[in-house]
Chains A and B, each alone.
Chain A
Amino acid sequence: MTEVMDSNLVEYKLLLENLRTRLNVLNTSIFLLENNLNQTDDKTYKYLKQINKELEKIRRLIIDVPEDLLND
Protein backbone atom coordinates (compact mmCIF):
# COMPACT_ATOMS: atom_id res chain seq x y z
CA MET A 1 0.00 0.00 0.00
CA THR A 2 1.51 3.28 -1.00
CA GLU A 3 1.95 5.76 1.81
CA VAL A 4 -0.14 8.62 0.62
CA MET A 5 -1.40 11.10 3.16
CA ASP A 6 -4.49 12.85 2.02
CA SER A 7 -4.49 16.56 2.68
CA ASN A 8 -7.09 16.31 5.44
CA LEU A 9 -4.85 13.96 7.40
CA VAL A 10 -1.82 16.22 6.95
CA GLU A 11 -3.77 19.21 8.20
CA TYR A 12 -5.19 17.19 11.07
CA LYS A 13 -1.71 16.14 12.20
CA LEU A 14 -0.51 19.72 11.95
CA LEU A 15 -3.50 20.91 13.93
CA LEU A 16 -2.74 18.31 16.60
CA GLU A 17 0.89 19.37 16.73
CA ASN A 18 -0.09 23.01 17.18
CA LEU A 19 -2.78 22.18 19.72
CA ARG A 20 -0.33 20.10 21.74
CA THR A 21 2.15 22.97 21.88
CA ARG A 22 -0.54 25.31 23.08
CA LEU A 23 -1.84 22.79 25.58
CA ASN A 24 1.68 22.64 26.95
CA VAL A 25 1.68 26.43 27.35
CA LEU A 26 -1.74 26.30 29.01
CA ASN A 27 -0.75 23.58 31.45
CA THR A 28 2.40 25.43 32.45
CA SER A 29 0.69 28.80 32.76
CA ILE A 30 -2.14 27.41 34.85
CA PHE A 31 0.33 25.60 37.06
CA LEU A 32 2.26 28.83 37.63
CA LEU A 33 -0.97 30.73 38.21
CA GLU A 34 -2.09 28.19 40.80
CA ASN A 35 1.17 28.62 42.67
CA ASN A 36 0.53 32.34 42.89
CA LEU A 37 -3.06 32.14 44.04
CA ASN A 38 -4.71 31.83 47.36
CA GLN A 39 -6.37 28.50 46.98
CA THR A 40 -8.15 28.58 50.29
CA ASP A 41 -10.77 30.65 48.53
CA ASP A 42 -13.58 28.20 47.67
CA LYS A 43 -14.54 29.70 44.35
CA THR A 44 -10.97 29.92 43.13
CA TYR A 45 -10.37 26.33 44.14
CA LYS A 46 -13.53 25.16 42.40
CA TYR A 47 -12.77 26.99 39.16
CA LEU A 48 -9.22 25.71 39.05
CA LYS A 49 -10.44 22.19 39.62
CA GLN A 50 -12.85 22.46 36.67
CA ILE A 51 -10.20 24.04 34.49
CA ASN A 52 -7.83 21.18 35.17
CA LYS A 53 -10.61 18.69 34.45
CA GLU A 54 -11.28 20.25 31.04
CA LEU A 55 -7.58 20.37 30.30
CA GLU A 56 -7.40 16.65 30.96
CA LYS A 57 -10.29 16.04 28.52
CA ILE A 58 -8.54 18.10 25.86
CA ARG A 59 -5.30 16.27 26.54
CA ARG A 60 -7.00 12.93 25.95
CA LEU A 61 -8.62 14.14 22.74
CA ILE A 62 -5.48 15.51 21.19
CA ILE A 63 -2.89 13.08 22.50
CA ASP A 64 -4.22 9.66 23.48
CA VAL A 65 -7.01 9.18 20.94
CA PRO A 66 -5.19 10.30 17.78
CA GLU A 67 -2.16 8.15 18.62
CA ASP A 68 -4.33 5.04 18.25
CA LEU A 69 -5.84 6.26 15.04
CA LEU A 70 -2.70 7.53 13.39
CA ASN A 71 -0.55 4.57 14.36
CA ASP A 72 -2.59 2.02 12.36
Chain B
Amino acid sequence: MQENKTEQYNDIEILIIEDETDVRESYVDMFGFMGVQVDSASNGVEGLQKLEQKHFDIVLTDLNMPVMDGLETLRRIKKKDDKIEVIVITGFATIENAISAMKQGAFDYITKPVSFDHVKIVLNKCIQKIYAWRENIALKNSNTQLKELNELKDKFITITNHELRTPLAVLRGYFDLLEMEIADKETGEYIEIINNTINEMMDMVESMHNLSSFKNYGRIQKKQRVDLNRIAAETAREVKILYDQRKIALELRLASDPVQTVVDEKMIHKAIREILGNALKYTQESGRVTITTKNIWESRQVFLEIKDTGIGIPKKKVNLIFEPFYEVQDVLHHSTSKTDFMGGGIGVGLSLVKEMVESNGGEIVVESTPGEGSNFTIVLPLARH
Protein backbone atom coordinates (compact mmCIF):
# COMPACT_ATOMS: atom_id res chain seq x y z
CA MET B 1 0.00 0.00 0.00
CA GLN B 2 1.33 3.44 -0.84
CA GLU B 3 2.66 5.55 2.04
CA ASN B 4 1.83 8.95 0.58
CA LYS B 5 -1.52 10.60 -0.02
CA THR B 6 -1.53 11.02 -3.79
CA GLU B 7 -4.61 13.15 -4.21
CA GLN B 8 -6.60 15.40 -1.93
CA TYR B 9 -10.32 15.15 -2.57
CA ASN B 10 -11.52 16.41 0.78
CA ASP B 11 -14.73 17.81 -0.71
CA ILE B 12 -15.82 14.30 -1.73
CA GLU B 13 -17.73 12.05 0.68
CA ILE B 14 -17.69 8.27 0.20
CA LEU B 15 -19.79 5.63 1.90
CA ILE B 16 -18.47 2.06 1.91
CA ILE B 17 -21.02 -0.71 2.37
CA GLU B 18 -19.30 -4.01 3.12
CA ASP B 19 -20.38 -6.74 5.50
CA GLU B 20 -16.87 -8.15 6.24
CA THR B 21 -15.29 -6.00 8.95
CA ASP B 22 -11.61 -6.46 7.97
CA VAL B 23 -12.35 -5.76 4.33
CA ARG B 24 -14.44 -2.73 5.28
CA GLU B 25 -11.65 -1.33 7.43
CA SER B 26 -9.05 -1.87 4.71
CA TYR B 27 -11.20 0.14 2.29
CA VAL B 28 -11.48 2.93 4.86
CA ASP B 29 -7.68 3.02 5.20
CA MET B 30 -7.23 2.90 1.43
CA PHE B 31 -9.53 5.84 0.74
CA GLY B 32 -8.15 7.73 3.69
CA PHE B 33 -4.80 7.75 1.88
CA MET B 34 -6.48 9.31 -1.10
CA GLY B 35 -7.67 12.19 1.05
CA VAL B 36 -11.42 11.54 0.69
CA GLN B 37 -13.91 11.73 3.55
CA VAL B 38 -14.96 8.13 4.31
CA ASP B 39 -17.78 6.56 6.27
CA SER B 40 -18.88 2.93 6.31
CA ALA B 41 -21.84 0.66 6.86
CA SER B 42 -22.02 -3.09 7.31
CA ASN B 43 -25.04 -3.76 5.11
CA GLY B 44 -27.43 -2.13 2.68
CA VAL B 45 -30.06 -1.20 5.31
CA GLU B 46 -27.48 0.53 7.48
CA GLY B 47 -26.06 2.21 4.41
CA LEU B 48 -29.46 3.59 3.43
CA GLN B 49 -30.00 4.87 6.98
CA LYS B 50 -26.69 6.74 6.76
CA LEU B 51 -27.76 8.18 3.42
CA GLU B 52 -30.90 9.55 5.08
CA GLN B 53 -28.78 11.47 7.59
CA LYS B 54 -26.10 12.80 5.31
CA HIS B 55 -25.26 13.31 1.66
CA PHE B 56 -22.60 11.12 0.07
CA ASP B 57 -21.17 11.70 -3.36
CA ILE B 58 -20.07 8.11 -3.98
CA VAL B 59 -21.22 4.79 -2.52
CA LEU B 60 -18.99 1.74 -2.83
CA THR B 61 -21.00 -1.37 -2.16
CA ASP B 62 -20.34 -5.06 -2.17
CA LEU B 63 -22.90 -6.92 -4.23
CA ASN B 64 -23.00 -10.01 -2.11
CA MET B 65 -24.28 -9.05 1.35
CA PRO B 66 -26.81 -10.35 3.89
CA VAL B 67 -29.93 -8.34 4.93
CA MET B 68 -29.95 -6.40 1.64
CA ASP B 69 -27.75 -7.24 -1.30
CA GLY B 70 -25.82 -4.71 -3.35
CA LEU B 71 -28.22 -4.66 -6.31
CA GLU B 72 -31.21 -3.84 -4.14
CA THR B 73 -29.13 -1.22 -2.31
CA LEU B 74 -28.15 0.27 -5.68
CA ARG B 75 -31.77 0.43 -6.82
CA ARG B 76 -32.87 2.20 -3.65
CA ILE B 77 -29.96 4.65 -3.74
CA LYS B 78 -30.72 5.59 -7.33
CA LYS B 79 -34.39 5.97 -6.48
CA LYS B 80 -33.52 8.31 -3.64
CA ASP B 81 -31.00 10.42 -5.57
CA ASP B 82 -29.71 9.38 -8.97
CA LYS B 83 -26.84 11.83 -8.72
CA ILE B 84 -25.14 9.65 -6.11
CA GLU B 85 -22.55 7.57 -7.96
CA VAL B 86 -22.42 3.91 -7.02
CA ILE B 87 -19.43 1.64 -7.59
CA VAL B 88 -20.09 -2.05 -7.01
CA ILE B 89 -17.60 -4.61 -5.77
CA THR B 90 -18.05 -8.09 -7.02
CA GLY B 91 -16.30 -11.44 -7.07
CA PHE B 92 -15.09 -12.60 -10.49
CA ALA B 93 -17.57 -15.43 -10.52
CA THR B 94 -20.50 -13.06 -10.22
CA ILE B 95 -19.52 -10.65 -12.99
CA GLU B 96 -23.01 -10.89 -14.50
CA ASN B 97 -24.31 -9.14 -11.39
CA ALA B 98 -21.82 -6.35 -11.94
CA ILE B 99 -23.02 -5.96 -15.52
CA SER B 100 -26.60 -5.94 -14.27
CA ALA B 101 -25.62 -3.24 -11.78
CA MET B 102 -24.11 -1.13 -14.58
CA LYS B 103 -27.36 -1.41 -16.47
CA GLN B 104 -29.15 -0.13 -13.39
CA GLY B 105 -27.00 2.95 -13.17
CA ALA B 106 -23.81 1.92 -11.37
CA PHE B 107 -20.82 3.99 -12.43
CA ASP B 108 -18.39 1.07 -12.59
CA TYR B 109 -17.44 -2.17 -10.91
CA ILE B 110 -14.35 -3.50 -9.16
CA THR B 111 -13.56 -7.18 -8.93
CA LYS B 112 -12.20 -8.96 -5.90
CA PRO B 113 -9.49 -9.29 -4.82
CA VAL B 114 -9.39 -5.47 -4.88
CA SER B 115 -6.27 -3.79 -6.17
CA PHE B 116 -5.46 -0.35 -4.78
CA ASP B 117 -4.32 0.92 -8.17
CA HIS B 118 -7.51 -0.19 -9.85
CA VAL B 119 -9.63 1.35 -7.11
CA LYS B 120 -7.69 4.59 -7.49
CA ILE B 121 -8.28 4.70 -11.23
CA VAL B 122 -12.01 4.00 -10.93
CA LEU B 123 -12.43 6.45 -8.08
CA ASN B 124 -10.53 9.23 -9.89
CA LYS B 125 -12.73 8.81 -12.93
CA CYS B 126 -15.82 8.97 -10.77
CA ILE B 127 -14.61 12.07 -8.92
CA GLN B 128 -13.82 13.87 -12.19
CA LYS B 129 -17.37 13.19 -13.33
CA ILE B 130 -18.70 14.67 -10.08
CA TYR B 131 -16.50 17.78 -10.42
CA ALA B 132 -17.65 18.31 -14.00
CA TRP B 133 -21.27 18.07 -12.91
CA ARG B 134 -20.68 20.56 -10.05
CA GLU B 135 -18.98 23.01 -12.41
CA ASN B 136 -21.89 22.74 -14.81
CA ILE B 137 -24.34 23.55 -12.01
CA ALA B 138 -22.21 26.50 -10.90
CA LEU B 139 -22.11 27.85 -14.46
CA LYS B 140 -25.87 27.44 -14.82
CA ASN B 141 -26.38 29.30 -11.54
CA SER B 142 -24.09 32.16 -12.45
CA ASN B 143 -25.73 32.30 -15.88
CA THR B 144 -29.11 32.64 -14.17
CA GLN B 145 -27.75 35.36 -11.88
CA LEU B 146 -26.21 37.16 -14.84
CA LYS B 147 -29.48 36.95 -16.74
CA GLU B 148 -31.37 38.39 -13.77
CA LEU B 149 -28.85 41.19 -13.40
CA ASN B 150 -29.04 42.03 -17.07
CA GLU B 151 -32.81 42.03 -16.96
CA LEU B 152 -32.64 44.47 -14.09
CA LYS B 153 -30.22 46.65 -15.99
CA ASP B 154 -32.32 46.51 -19.14
CA LYS B 155 -35.32 47.59 -17.11
CA PHE B 156 -33.30 50.43 -15.63
CA ILE B 157 -32.04 51.48 -19.04
CA THR B 158 -35.60 51.68 -20.35
CA ILE B 159 -36.77 53.71 -17.38
CA THR B 160 -33.75 56.05 -17.51
CA ASN B 161 -34.21 56.71 -21.20
CA HIS B 162 -37.84 57.49 -20.62
CA GLU B 163 -36.98 59.77 -17.71
CA LEU B 164 -34.28 61.55 -19.68
CA ARG B 165 -36.75 62.60 -22.32
CA THR B 166 -38.76 64.71 -19.91
CA PRO B 167 -36.04 67.03 -18.57
CA LEU B 168 -34.56 67.27 -22.07
CA ALA B 169 -37.92 68.31 -23.46
CA VAL B 170 -38.43 70.82 -20.64
CA LEU B 171 -34.91 72.14 -21.19
CA ARG B 172 -35.67 72.54 -24.89
CA GLY B 173 -38.85 74.42 -24.05
CA TYR B 174 -37.28 76.88 -21.60
CA PHE B 175 -34.33 77.44 -23.85
CA ASP B 176 -36.65 78.28 -26.77
CA LEU B 177 -38.37 80.84 -24.53
CA LEU B 178 -35.03 82.26 -23.43
CA GLU B 179 -33.87 82.52 -27.00
CA MET B 180 -36.90 84.65 -27.87
CA GLU B 181 -35.94 87.07 -25.10
CA ILE B 182 -32.27 87.46 -25.73
CA ALA B 183 -31.12 86.72 -29.28
CA ASP B 184 -28.36 89.13 -30.25
CA LYS B 185 -24.95 89.04 -31.86
CA GLU B 186 -22.98 88.59 -28.67
CA THR B 187 -24.88 85.56 -27.51
CA GLY B 188 -25.62 84.06 -30.92
CA GLU B 189 -22.71 81.65 -30.91
CA TYR B 190 -23.61 80.21 -27.48
CA ILE B 191 -27.23 79.86 -28.48
CA GLU B 192 -26.29 77.93 -31.60
CA ILE B 193 -24.08 75.55 -29.63
CA ILE B 194 -26.69 75.05 -26.93
CA ASN B 195 -29.37 74.38 -29.53
CA ASN B 196 -27.26 71.85 -31.40
CA THR B 197 -26.19 70.11 -28.23
CA ILE B 198 -29.74 69.77 -26.89
CA ASN B 199 -30.83 68.38 -30.28
CA GLU B 200 -27.99 65.87 -30.26
CA MET B 201 -28.86 64.71 -26.77
CA MET B 202 -32.49 64.28 -27.72
CA ASP B 203 -31.49 62.31 -30.82
CA MET B 204 -29.25 60.07 -28.79
CA VAL B 205 -31.92 59.27 -26.23
CA GLU B 206 -34.42 58.58 -29.01
CA SER B 207 -32.03 56.35 -30.92
CA MET B 208 -31.23 54.34 -27.80
CA HIS B 209 -34.62 52.74 -28.12
CA ASN B 210 -33.74 51.45 -31.52
CA LEU B 211 -30.37 50.12 -30.63
CA SER B 212 -30.44 46.35 -30.59
CA SER B 213 -26.84 45.44 -30.99
CA PHE B 214 -23.30 46.76 -30.90
CA LYS B 215 -23.24 46.44 -34.67
CA ASN B 216 -25.92 49.12 -35.04
CA TYR B 217 -23.16 51.68 -34.95
CA GLY B 218 -21.87 50.15 -38.16
CA ARG B 219 -25.30 50.11 -39.78
CA ILE B 220 -25.56 52.71 -42.51
CA GLN B 221 -28.71 54.83 -42.22
CA LYS B 222 -28.36 56.99 -45.33
CA LYS B 223 -25.36 57.59 -47.58
CA GLN B 224 -25.03 60.90 -49.37
CA ARG B 225 -22.42 63.13 -50.93
CA VAL B 226 -20.86 65.32 -48.25
CA ASP B 227 -18.04 67.80 -47.98
CA LEU B 228 -15.64 66.71 -45.22
CA ASN B 229 -14.54 70.35 -44.86
CA ARG B 230 -18.02 71.24 -43.67
CA ILE B 231 -18.32 68.30 -41.29
CA ALA B 232 -14.86 68.99 -39.87
CA ALA B 233 -15.67 72.68 -39.33
CA GLU B 234 -19.04 71.92 -37.68
CA THR B 235 -17.57 69.32 -35.35
CA ALA B 236 -14.70 71.63 -34.41
CA ARG B 237 -17.18 74.38 -33.57
CA GLU B 238 -19.11 72.01 -31.31
CA VAL B 239 -16.12 71.02 -29.22
CA LYS B 240 -14.25 74.34 -29.23
CA ILE B 241 -15.65 75.37 -25.86
CA LEU B 242 -14.20 72.24 -24.26
CA TYR B 243 -10.85 72.87 -25.89
CA ASP B 244 -10.85 76.50 -24.74
CA GLN B 245 -11.62 75.34 -21.20
CA ARG B 246 -8.54 73.13 -21.25
CA LYS B 247 -6.47 75.83 -23.03
CA ILE B 248 -5.73 73.55 -25.96
CA ALA B 249 -5.54 75.12 -29.42
CA LEU B 250 -7.85 73.62 -32.01
CA GLU B 251 -6.75 74.46 -35.54
CA LEU B 252 -8.38 73.77 -38.88
CA ARG B 253 -6.31 73.31 -42.02
CA LEU B 254 -8.93 72.55 -44.59
CA ALA B 255 -8.29 71.86 -48.24
CA SER B 256 -9.06 74.79 -50.50
CA ASP B 257 -11.22 72.58 -52.72
CA PRO B 258 -14.27 70.71 -51.41
CA VAL B 259 -13.32 67.30 -50.05
CA GLN B 260 -16.21 65.18 -51.20
CA THR B 261 -17.09 61.64 -50.31
CA VAL B 262 -20.27 59.56 -50.20
CA VAL B 263 -20.94 58.46 -46.59
CA ASP B 264 -23.47 58.35 -43.81
CA GLU B 265 -22.92 61.89 -42.57
CA LYS B 266 -24.13 61.30 -39.00
CA MET B 267 -21.81 58.34 -38.61
CA ILE B 268 -18.73 60.15 -39.88
CA HIS B 269 -19.63 63.15 -37.75
CA LYS B 270 -19.76 60.83 -34.70
CA ALA B 271 -16.43 59.27 -35.63
CA ILE B 272 -14.71 62.66 -35.94
CA ARG B 273 -16.30 63.81 -32.71
CA GLU B 274 -15.03 60.72 -30.92
CA ILE B 275 -11.45 61.21 -32.15
CA LEU B 276 -11.56 64.88 -31.16
CA GLY B 277 -12.82 63.81 -27.73
CA ASN B 278 -9.91 61.42 -27.46
CA ALA B 279 -7.40 64.05 -28.53
CA LEU B 280 -8.81 66.40 -25.89
CA LYS B 281 -8.48 63.70 -23.23
CA TYR B 282 -4.86 62.89 -23.96
CA THR B 283 -3.46 66.34 -24.65
CA GLN B 284 -2.13 68.53 -21.89
CA GLU B 285 -2.82 72.22 -21.35
CA SER B 286 -1.22 74.50 -23.98
CA GLY B 287 -1.20 71.60 -26.41
CA ARG B 288 -2.50 71.71 -29.96
CA VAL B 289 -4.87 69.63 -32.04
CA THR B 290 -4.98 70.16 -35.80
CA ILE B 291 -7.65 68.96 -38.20
CA THR B 292 -6.49 68.66 -41.81
CA THR B 293 -8.44 67.62 -44.88
CA LYS B 294 -7.01 66.61 -48.25
CA ASN B 295 -8.01 65.26 -51.62
CA ILE B 296 -5.64 62.58 -52.89
CA TRP B 297 -6.54 62.55 -56.57
CA GLU B 298 -4.03 59.86 -57.60
CA SER B 299 -5.53 57.21 -55.34
CA ARG B 300 -9.08 58.65 -55.52
CA GLN B 301 -9.24 59.06 -51.77
CA VAL B 302 -9.93 61.76 -49.25
CA PHE B 303 -8.14 62.17 -45.92
CA LEU B 304 -9.21 63.72 -42.68
CA GLU B 305 -6.37 63.83 -40.22
CA ILE B 306 -6.55 64.75 -36.53
CA LYS B 307 -3.14 65.37 -35.06
CA ASP B 308 -2.50 66.12 -31.40
CA THR B 309 0.53 66.98 -29.31
CA GLY B 310 -0.59 64.71 -26.50
CA ILE B 311 0.93 61.87 -24.55
CA GLY B 312 1.08 59.52 -27.52
CA ILE B 313 0.61 55.78 -27.54
CA PRO B 314 3.31 53.22 -26.73
CA LYS B 315 4.37 51.32 -29.86
CA LYS B 316 3.27 47.96 -28.47
CA LYS B 317 -0.22 49.29 -27.76
CA VAL B 318 -0.95 50.99 -31.06
CA ASN B 319 -2.68 47.95 -32.48
CA LEU B 320 -4.74 47.47 -29.33
CA ILE B 321 -6.39 50.87 -29.18
CA PHE B 322 -9.17 49.81 -31.54
CA GLU B 323 -10.06 46.82 -29.36
CA PRO B 324 -13.27 47.30 -27.33
CA PHE B 325 -12.71 48.38 -23.71
CA TYR B 326 -9.00 49.13 -24.18
CA GLU B 327 -7.75 52.28 -22.44
CA VAL B 328 -4.17 53.48 -22.81
CA GLN B 329 -3.80 54.91 -19.33
CA ASP B 330 -3.66 52.68 -16.28
CA VAL B 331 -6.42 52.54 -13.70
CA LEU B 332 -4.60 54.95 -11.38
CA HIS B 333 -5.46 57.76 -13.76
CA HIS B 334 -9.17 57.08 -13.84
CA SER B 335 -11.43 60.01 -13.21
CA THR B 336 -15.13 60.38 -13.79
CA SER B 337 -14.67 63.28 -16.21
CA LYS B 338 -14.54 62.38 -19.84
CA THR B 339 -12.93 65.65 -20.91
CA ASP B 340 -10.36 66.27 -18.20
CA PHE B 341 -6.78 65.36 -19.06
CA MET B 342 -6.50 61.57 -18.81
CA GLY B 343 -10.15 61.42 -17.81
CA GLY B 344 -11.81 58.04 -17.59
CA GLY B 345 -14.00 56.25 -20.06
CA ILE B 346 -15.09 52.79 -20.88
CA GLY B 347 -12.80 52.52 -23.87
CA VAL B 348 -15.36 51.60 -26.53
CA GLY B 349 -15.03 54.87 -28.50
CA LEU B 350 -12.20 54.02 -30.89
CA SER B 351 -13.47 50.53 -31.55
CA LEU B 352 -16.74 52.10 -32.68
CA VAL B 353 -14.90 54.74 -34.73
CA LYS B 354 -13.16 51.93 -36.59
CA GLU B 355 -16.46 50.16 -37.17
CA MET B 356 -18.17 53.35 -38.34
CA VAL B 357 -15.39 54.32 -40.74
CA GLU B 358 -15.04 50.82 -42.17
CA SER B 359 -18.75 50.46 -42.72
CA ASN B 360 -18.54 53.59 -44.89
CA GLY B 361 -15.89 51.99 -47.06
CA GLY B 362 -12.98 53.69 -45.36
CA GLU B 363 -10.19 52.89 -42.99
CA ILE B 364 -8.58 54.52 -39.99
CA VAL B 365 -4.85 54.73 -39.56
CA VAL B 366 -2.95 55.82 -36.48
CA GLU B 367 0.64 56.93 -36.02
CA SER B 368 1.97 57.88 -32.66
CA THR B 369 5.11 58.76 -30.76
CA PRO B 370 5.01 58.58 -26.96
CA GLY B 371 5.61 62.02 -25.51
CA GLU B 372 5.01 63.78 -28.82
CA GLY B 373 1.47 62.98 -29.86
CA SER B 374 -0.75 60.98 -32.14
CA ASN B 375 -2.08 61.29 -35.62
CA PHE B 376 -5.43 59.67 -36.53
CA THR B 377 -6.26 59.62 -40.24
CA ILE B 378 -9.65 58.69 -41.65
CA VAL B 379 -9.31 57.60 -45.27
CA LEU B 380 -12.47 57.51 -47.37
CA PRO B 381 -13.21 57.03 -51.05
CA LEU B 382 -13.35 60.21 -53.12
CA ALA B 383 -16.83 60.90 -54.50
CA ARG B 384 -17.12 60.63 -58.25
CA HIS B 385 -17.71 63.85 -60.10
Which A residues are within 8 Å of any B CB, using their own CB? Answer: 1-2, 4, 6-15, 17-26, 28-30, 32-33, 36-37, 41, 43-44, 47-48, 50-51, 54-55, 57-58, 61-63, 65-67, 69, 72
Instruction: Flag if B200 contacts A22 (CB, 8 Å).
Output: yes
Taking the complex as formed, is B297 at the interface, i.e. its CB lies under 8 A from any CB of chain A?
no
Instruction: Flag if A26 contacts B157 (CB, 8 Å).
Output: no
Chain A residue contacts of B150, Cβ below 8 A: 6, 8-9
How many residues of B are counted as interface, with CB atoms below 8 angstroms from the partner's CB atoms?
56
Instruction: Flag if A25 contacts B348 (CB, 8 Å).
Output: no
Which B residues are within 8 Å of any A CB, using their own CB? Answer: 142, 145-146, 149-150, 153-154, 156-157, 160, 163-164, 167-168, 170-171, 174-175, 177-178, 181-182, 186-187, 190-191, 193-194, 197-198, 200-201, 204-205, 208, 211-214, 216, 238-239, 241-242, 245, 277, 324, 336-339, 345-346, 348-349, 352
**7 A-B contacts (beta carbon < 8 Å):** A4-B146, A15-B204, A25-B239, A33-B194, A36-B186, A47-B181, A48-B178
Instruction: Flag if B174 contacts A63 (CB, 8 Å).
Output: no
Instruction: Flag if B170 contacts A54 (CB, 8 Å).
Output: yes
Q: Which 10 A-B pairs have the closest CB atoms?
A: A47-B178, A54-B171, A33-B190, A57-B167, A54-B167, A7-B214, A50-B174, A1-B142, A11-B211, A13-B346
Instruction: Flag if A25 contacts B193 (CB, 8 Å).
Output: yes
- The distance from the CB of A34 to the nearest CB of chain B, in whole angstroms, is 9
Q: Is the interface of A mostly helix, strand, loop or mixed?
A: helix
Task: Specify which of A13, A29, A33, A37 is in contact with B197 (CB 8 Å cutoff).
Answer: A29
Given contacts A13-B346, A47-B174, A58-B171, contact A21 B339 (CB under 8 A): yes
- In whole angstroms, how far apart are the Cα atoms of A34 and B216 in the complex? 38
Instruction: Flag if B197 contacts A26 (CB, 8 Å).
Output: yes
Instruction: Flag if A29 contacts B194 (CB, 8 Å).
Output: yes
- In whole angstroms, how far apart are the Cα atoms of A18 and B276 in the complex? 12
- The distance from the CB of B273 to the nearest CB of chain A, in whole angstroms, is 8
Given contacts A1-B146, A21-B338, contact A33 B187 (CB under 8 A): yes
- The distance from the CB of A12 to the nearest CB of chain B, in whole angstroms, is 5
The residue in A23, A43, A61, A66 that gathers the most chain B C-beta atoms within 10 A of its C-beta is: A61
Instruction: Flag if B338 contacts A17 (CB, 8 Å).
Output: yes
- The distance from the CB of B45 to the nearest CB of chain A, in whole angstroms, is 44
Instruction: Flag if B338 contacts A44 (CB, 8 Å).
Output: no
Task: Specify which of B175, B241, B346 is in contact with A17 (CB 8 Å cutoff).
Answer: B346
The residue in B149, B197, B216, B339 that gathers the most chain A C-beta atoms within 10 A of its C-beta is: B197
Chain A residue contacts of B171, Cβ below 8 A: 51, 54-55, 58
Instruction: Flag if B164 contacts A58 (CB, 8 Å).
Output: yes
Instruction: Flag if A66 contacts B160 (CB, 8 Å).
Output: yes
With both beta carbons as reference points, the residue of chain A lying nearest to B193 in the complex is identified as A29
Chain A residue contacts of B245, Cβ below 8 A: 28
Instruction: Flag if B181 contacts A21 (CB, 8 Å).
Output: no
Chain A residue contacts of B201, Cβ below 8 A: 19, 22-23, 26, 58
With both beta carbons as reference points, the residue of chain A lying nearest to B201 in the complex is identified as A22
Chain B residue contacts of A36, Cβ below 8 A: 186-187, 190
With both beta carbons as reference points, the residue of chain A lying nearest to B139 in the complex is identified as A2
- In whole angstroms, how far apart are the Cα atoms of A36 and B188 in the complex? 11
Chain B residue contacts of A11, Cβ below 8 A: 208, 211, 214, 216
- A8-B211, A11-B214 known; 19 new pairs, CB 8 Å cut-off, are A1-B146, A7-B212, A7-B213, A8-B150, A13-B346, A19-B164, A21-B339, A23-B201, A25-B197, A26-B198, A41-B181, A50-B170, A54-B170, A54-B174, A55-B171, A58-B168, A61-B160, A65-B160, A67-B336
Chain A residue contacts of B211, Cβ below 8 A: 8, 11
Task: Specify which of B154, B174, B186, B348 is in contact with A8 (CB 8 Å cutoff).
Answer: B154
- In whole angstroms, how far apart are the Cα atoms of A58 and B211 in the complex? 21
With both beta carbons as reference points, the residue of chain B lying nearest to A47 in the complex is identified as B178
Instruction: Flag if A25 contacts B346 (CB, 8 Å).
Output: no
